[in-house]
Amino acid sequence: MKIHKEGRRILFVTLLVLLALNLLVFNFNKGADLVNRLFAGATVIVFLLILQFFRSPFRHLFTHEDLLLAPADGKVVVIENVFEPEYFNDERKQISIFMSPINVHVTRNPISGMVKYFKYHPGNYLVAWHPKSSTQNERTTVVVESDAGPLVLFRQIAGAMARRIVWYVNEGDEVTQGEEFGFIKFGSRVDVFVPMDTEIKVELGQKVKGGATVICQLKVK
């Protein structure tokens, strides 16, 4: 287990602010030991909650050209056939994984291949399970031409709490299955769009681990 690089500055600033608040409270409440201890305990809890947002556990990763791994930790909240209008302009199977505040917030490449398309979209901050969050919220869209052949689209989506998406890929990059492609601060959701003949390997409500759980298998022609 390690602390992700995206959280180190936030944690440092948070620690300084909480220490300063504790010093102020202790200074103005001299003699009120119970109040001071309760406040100190509350600030420790706040810091630990923020700390767990940025944990980055070690994962034993494996690669397979036609198997898609979960791009994030969380729960499968959508499995359906949809029309994908941004890149494919046709029907695709969509798998969506909701990342709660207690999940690991690292996002990983579900498949190895070359990035054919990347775009960042500024937007709203609807709750992640809102049907329109996939098209109206702040988000990134990545399309990878997999080593198996089929194109796979995956999308980081910010939610009501997540106000910043970070990405580490650009068009033309070669990406490796299971490696980090970004981070969503304080959680949200990731959508994956695959061809209609793809075999889904997960169920609604199933909990998955990024870079570890197989979510579907591409049909290789």
146 belongs to the catalytic site: no
User: Alpha-carbon distance 164 to 187, whole Å?
Assistant: 10
Q: Could you say which of 96, 112, 134, 188 is catalytic?
A: 188
- Nearest CA among 114, 119, 116, 108 for reference residue 192: 108
- Nearest CA among 184, 209, 210, 178 for reference residue 7: 184
Residue 25 three-state SS = helix
User: Alpha-carbon distance 113 to 30, whole Å?
Assistant: 62
- Which letter does DSSP use for residue 205 in this model? T
- The set of catalytic residues is 188
